[in-house]
Chain A
Amino acid sequence: MKHREIALSILLAFAILAEQPATNAQQTGKVYRIGYLGITTSGFETDPRHCPIEGSPNWQAFIGGVRDRGYIPGQNLAFDCRWTEDQDDRAAPLAAELVSLKPDLLVVNGTYLVRAAKRATSTIPIIMYGVIDPVGRGLVSSLAHPGGNVTGLSDSLAEMEGKRLQFLKEIAPNVSRVAVFNRSNRSEIWRRYLDASAQALGLTLQDYYVKGPEEFVNAFAAMTRAGEEALYVVPTGLWEMGDSPQRMVEFAAQSRLPATYQNRRFVEAGGLMSYCVDEPAIRRRIGIYVDKILNGANPGDLPVEQPNSFKLIINLKTATALGLTIPHTLLILADEVIQ
């Protein structure tokens, strides 16, 4: 009978409607691909995609930040990692290789590699980090509106270079000659601050260009010969490779040079001091950019973040070994004093 069918269909309709549509929080099984371009794995184990399985604390912070946003590597996220191992000529081909894997975005460490990535693609979003002065270096057009396909986090402020020098002078007040341990003779904006600071502090700077760790010996020998009294290590990712930090620190110790380094690792290794940003914190924040870009944000509209806090870390043992006392001013300001 007609009416029975109508009644049944009504009931059926309700049964279907009553079921709340399951809110689809998860994406429908899509796996995002991130391409990572870095300098060195620093000896950590890698998986078939060349990504660190555990990795350095920085790497872990990065992965942690990405996870916090709901992207789980191995589930809805896949990494492809490439490392130049400090071979500049490998930057371009590796960048191109990563691009050819058609990732959803690229995460790139360091100015040089970011430049290579920019040349390799102008459409795939690039999240940069570990860069100093991205505007000055032409990676973005402005911090607030990067434009293009590059955005990310800046690792340092140019001014810091001057400040570091001041701290070095404070910890070793008798120093007047400072060796500037530099990777290349690229003159950049930060140099201005360094020079101004040196001038204000009455220090003489001397550049020592080192292409790679193999040149440490010669460089330090030269420093000793020149009678340098302190060492200012210009931060660059190269120093992080392999056991370079260790070696560097050893050389400094051998040369009895108070030195300021680029991050905590060096200080842990025995370096005297470092004034740097909270690197893990910065790397954690990459996840925010990843989330925004994967949800469709335009990288050119995402402002570049600059570091909020800076950490002064001093190695007391090294200071003592060098015969230096840490002045009050540094003690007060220091965030960490390693014994």
Chain B
Amino acid sequence: MRVRRTLFRKYVFVFVTVIGSMLIVRGLIELYISYRDNRAAIVRLQKEKAATAALRIEHFIREIQGQIRWVSHPIFMAQEQAAEQRRLDFLWLLHQVPSVTEVSHLDATGKEQLRVSRLNVDEVGSQKDHSAEPKFLGAMTGNVYFGPVYFRNESEPYMTLSMKWQGPGAGVTAAELNLKLVWDVVSQVKAGEKGYAYVVDPRGILIAHDDISLVLQKTDLSRLPQVQAAISAVRGSGAEVLEAGIGRDQRGESVFTGSSSIDPLGWSVFVEQPASEAFSPLYDSILSTLALLALGLGLAVVTCLILARSMARPIQALQAGAARIGAGALDQRIEVRTGDELEMLADQFNSMATQLQASYANLEQKVAERTRELTQALEQLKALGEVSQALSSTLNLEEVLTTIVTRAVQLSGTAGGVVYEYVEARQEFHPRVAHQMEEELFEAVRGTPIRLGEAAIGRAAVNRAPFQVSDILDDHDYGATHLQPILVRLGYRSLLAMPLLREERIVGGLVVWCREPCKFSTEVVNLLQTFATQSVMAMENARLFREVEEKGRDLETASRHKSQFLANMSHELRTPLNAILGYTELILDNVYGDVSEKVRDVLARLEQSGRHLLALINDVLDLSKIEAGHLTLSLSEYSMQDVVQTVFTGVEALAAEKGLVLKTTVVPDLPTGYGDERRLHQVLLNLVGNAIKFTEAGEVDIEAKAFDSAFLVVVSDTGPGIPPPDQAKIFEEFRQVDSTSTRKKGGTGLGLSISKRIVEMHGGRIWVDSTPGKGSVFSFTIPFRTERPRGWHGQADSDDRGQ
């Protein structure tokens, strides 16, 4: 079973996930909104600041413009005075406007009439021709000309501002403005700690910056995206729109930028703040949100752990407890004190465990008991088996009875036992075998046998039932016997006697005794009853066997006598018979003189009778040999063809005499046979002889062929046939079909039975097919090779060595 400990983790996971995801989602939404708002706010702010700054710069320039205008007015005086006045005006301008480094007056033709400078020496009436210069031309056309930013000494940004004025001495006032002073305006623009403002001209060149050194280096910012967007807006193409106010600074870092343009000049003012700084409040807020989130998560985790723990623990305790109980530790109790259904469940488990424990104990006890009983029963069965085995394996009554009494004593748990045989004639119990019986006691019961009705066994026998003596000392009746003192002295107190009965007849007894006053339980009594029955059986078997043995011996003797007798008798019978036949033949051969026809007839009949008698005697002898099992086959190789031929030759004359046609058909290429040729010849002769004898007219056929690795010989005649009921009987001894015809035909009636025996001894078969009136067909099969002749019962004789 896989160990699963995931409940706690599941709870924790679920809780943490739920709470955590809620917290995170909320936090993220807040952050996003905050970010978005912040960004928008910052950009707005930048833009405002830029607009303000633009406005201030424009104002600054316009101020200067105004101041210049102030000095750009016709002076209604004489020329010299006018020039002087103008000079004073210009000096006043220089004083007022620190940005103006130089201011000059060009006349209407563009010739310089006056130049007042901070650095250079003032020049009056130099008449330098500036008519082709943009500061003159621009002013003349547009009234006010704002020149492009240029750098003096490669480092100082300057701008020309010129304006036209009308009136006498009209002309153009051109001033050179040092734009470094714009820095003052720009540097006051503060956008956060790291924020700054700067101004670029329409080319994107830096004119003013918080860090003036950048200006002095003529920095070109036209590559920055926000600058590009602004200057293209100024140019009017306005195609590029800056994305959400995010630009880049020179280092490539992101900045928030707002810009505004200063129209007449075409400058662009930028107010920027590094994105990192701009976002720092946002980052702070993110951090704090994250910190809070993390704290919240942490608390959630802790809470979840605690909660999950408190939820999972009782369940785990239940699981562990149930596992323990399930594993068999039934004395374990589950401790759950949650005061809810879980506690109830635990209590249920505990009560279940208690019950299980009790029932186990009970069960164990019962099992132990049963096991004991079973063991006992098994022992008994084993003993019985042993006894049965003994019974069936040995006919030695002593051995069997000893086994019985030994086992009986062992299994009944008694001290000893004895088996008695009952001698009916004397009505006495004689001990046959004993187990653990003292010599003294055995001698006592042998010397003075117990009589019927005496002692335990006597009474048991009388009652035809087991008899118990619980305590020898107690039972008065028992005290009367001569055995009691001995028993008491030997220490025995109680005994049980079983009568051995066969069909209500007493054949003996089985007695067992104990040292203590045993109460022989029903089981023991039954057990001993079984043993008693076994003993009876054993005795009976022994007796039967004895009888059978005797009878067998008698039979054997009888058979021996008979054979001996027959052998003797046949010899005795044959001798005079041979004499009769011999002499008869002699007489017929006229050895003793002529013999008259009448006498010849008589003598011929005499000879015939004699021969018949001789045949009968031979047959009887043969049959008795066969029956005694003394007929043996002498096996050798033979040719069936020859056998048939010999028989044919033998009966040829006889058939001719009766006018029967005799035919033989022998299949060519018959194999060589292996068997008793003489006996086979006898069989065939018997069959053919019978055929001829019983057929009045017609023919007799002899066929010999091979069939299924055996010779098949068929003798068929056209005789009267044999009715079916008789067909089996004819093979029995001394039988012919019809006793009347027997007498007519002669024959002993032995031939077919002998033939049958011989055929079967070869391992073949013989049968007859016949239809009354149509004739008979006698067939027999003889295996080609007869290796082991069979015994006279038809069983294979395994001991036969093939004589």
List the interface of chain A (C-beta within 8 A of B).
3, 6-7, 10-11, 13-14, 17-18, 20, 142-145, 157, 159-160, 162-163, 165-166, 196-197, 200-201, 292, 302-306, 308-310, 328-329, 332-335
- The interface residues of chain B lying within 8 Å CB-to-CB of A18 are 291, 295
B545 CB within 8 Å of chain A: no
When C-beta atoms are compared, the residue in chain B nearest to A142 turns out to be B154
Q: How far is the CA of A196 from the CA of B180 in the complex (A)?
A: 28
If A142-B154, A329-B87, A333-B94 touch, whether A163 touches B213 (CB-CB below 8 Å) is: no
Task: Check B213–A303 contact: CB distance below 8 A.
Answer: yes
- The interface residues of chain A lying within 8 Å CB-to-CB of B291 are 14, 17-18
- The interface residues of chain A lying within 8 Å CB-to-CB of B302 are 7, 10-11
Task: Check B91–A144 contact: CB distance below 8 A.
Answer: no
Shortest beta-carbon distance from B274 to chain A in Å? 15
Cross-interface CB contact of B287 among A20, A142, A144, A308, cutoff 8 Å: A20
Task: Check B119–A163 contact: CB distance below 8 A.
Answer: yes
When C-beta atoms are compared, the residue in chain A nearest to B306 turns out to be A7
Task: Check A308–B295 contact: CB distance below 8 A.
Answer: no
Central interface residue in B121, B181, B287, by most chain A CB within 10 Å: B121
Q: How far is the CA of A329 from the CA of B92 in the complex (A)?
A: 8
**A-B complex: 7 closest residue pairs judged by Cβ atoms:** A303-B216, A159-B119, A7-B302, A143-B155, A332-B91, A10-B298, A166-B121
Shortest beta-carbon distance from B128 to chain A in Å? 14
- The interface residues of chain A lying within 8 Å CB-to-CB of B92 are 332
Task: Check A308–B178 contact: CB distance below 8 A.
Answer: yes
Shortest beta-carbon distance from B321 to chain A in Å? 20
Interface string of B116-139 (1 = CB under 8 A from A): 011111110000000000000000
- The interface residues of chain B lying within 8 Å CB-to-CB of A157 are 119
If A160-B119, A200-B121 touch, whether A306 touches B305 (CB-CB below 8 Å) is: no
Shortest beta-carbon distance from B587 to chain A in Å? 139
CB proximity to A under 8 Å, residues B79-96? 87-88, 91-92, 94-95
When C-beta atoms are compared, the residue in chain B nearest to A198 turns out to be B121
When C-beta atoms are compared, the residue in chain A nearest to B298 turns out to be A10
Task: Check A10–B120 contact: CB distance below 8 A.
Answer: no
Interface size in chain B (residues, C-beta < 8 A) = 38
When C-beta atoms are compared, the residue in chain A nearest to B280 turns out to be A23
B98 CB within 8 Å of chain A: yes
Task: Check B155–A10 contact: CB distance below 8 A.
Answer: no
When C-beta atoms are compared, the residue in chain A nearest to B153 turns out to be A143
Q: Dominant SS at the A interface?
A: helix
Task: Check B294–A201 contact: CB distance below 8 A.
Answer: no
Task: Check B98–A309 contact: CB distance below 8 A.
Answer: yes
When C-beta atoms are compared, the residue in chain A nearest to B87 turns out to be A329
Task: Check A14–B294 contact: CB distance below 8 A.
Answer: yes
Cross-interface CB contact of A333 among B95, B156, B212, B213, cutoff 8 Å: B95
Interface string of B594-627 (1 = CB under 8 A from A): 0000000000000000000000000000000000
Q: How far is the CA of A308 from the CA of B215 in the complex (A)?
A: 14
Task: Check B119–A305 contact: CB distance below 8 A.
Answer: no
Cross-interface CB contact of A17 among B123, B153, B294, cutoff 8 Å: B294
Q: Would you mind naming 27 contact pairs between A and B with Cβ atoms under 8 Å apart?
A: A3-B305, A3-B309, A6-B301, A7-B305, A10-B302, A11-B302, A14-B294, A14-B295, A14-B298, A17-B291, A17-B294, A18-B295, A20-B284, A20-B287, A143-B155, A159-B120, A162-B121, A165-B121, A201-B121, A292-B213, A304-B155, A305-B213, A310-B118, A332-B88, A332-B91, A332-B92, A334-B95
Q: How far is the CA of A11 from the CA of B302 in the complex (A)?
A: 8
- The interface residues of chain A lying within 8 Å CB-to-CB of B91 are 329, 332-333
- The interface residues of chain B lying within 8 Å CB-to-CB of A166 are 121-122
Shortest beta-carbon distance from B282 to chain A in Å? 15
B218 CB within 8 Å of chain A: yes
Shortest beta-carbon distance from B183 to chain A in Å? 9
Cross-interface CB contact of A308 among B88, B180, B299, B301, cutoff 8 Å: B180
B217 CB within 8 Å of chain A: yes
Shortest beta-carbon distance from B299 to chain A in Å? 8
Cross-interface CB contact of B216 among A6, A17, A143, cutoff 8 Å: A143
CB proximity to A under 8 Å, residues B237-284? 284
Task: Check A329–B88 contact: CB distance below 8 A.
Answer: yes
- The interface residues of chain B lying within 8 Å CB-to-CB of A145 are 217
Central interface residue in A159, A201, A332, by most chain B CB within 10 Å: A332
- The interface residues of chain B lying within 8 Å CB-to-CB of A310 are 118-119
Q: How far is the CA of A10 from the CA of B178 in the complex (A)?
A: 63
- The interface residues of chain B lying within 8 Å CB-to-CB of A292 are 213
Shortest beta-carbon distance from B681 to chain A in Å? 111
If A302-B213, A329-B87 touch, whether A163 touches B121 (CB-CB below 8 Å) is: yes
Task: Check A332–B95 contact: CB distance below 8 A.
Answer: yes
Shortest beta-carbon distance from B427 to chain A in Å? 94
When C-beta atoms are compared, the residue in chain B nearest to A297 turns out to be B213
Task: Check A308–B87 contact: CB distance below 8 A.
Answer: no
Shortest beta-carbon distance from A271 to chain B in Å? 21
Task: Check B216–A305 contact: CB distance below 8 A.
Answer: yes
Q: How far is the CA of A292 from the CA of B180 in the complex (A)?
A: 20
Q: How far is the CA of A302 from the CA of B216 in the complex (A)?
A: 9
Q: How far is the CA of A310 from the CA of B102 in the complex (A)?
A: 13
- The interface residues of chain B lying within 8 Å CB-to-CB of A165 are 121
- The interface residues of chain B lying within 8 Å CB-to-CB of A200 are 121, 123
Cross-interface CB contact of A163 among B117, B156, B217, B295, cutoff 8 Å: B117
Shortest beta-carbon distance from A179 to chain B in Å? 19
Q: How far is the CA of A162 from the CA of B301 in the complex (A)?
A: 83
Q: How far is the CA of A335 from the CA of B291 in the complex (A)?
A: 60
When C-beta atoms are compared, the residue in chain B nearest to A166 turns out to be B121
- The interface residues of chain A lying within 8 Å CB-to-CB of B119 are 157, 159-160, 162-163, 310
Task: Check A306–B155 contact: CB distance below 8 A.
Answer: yes
When C-beta atoms are compared, the residue in chain A nearest to B181 turns out to be A308
Cross-interface CB contact of B120 among A7, A17, A162, A309, cutoff 8 Å: A162
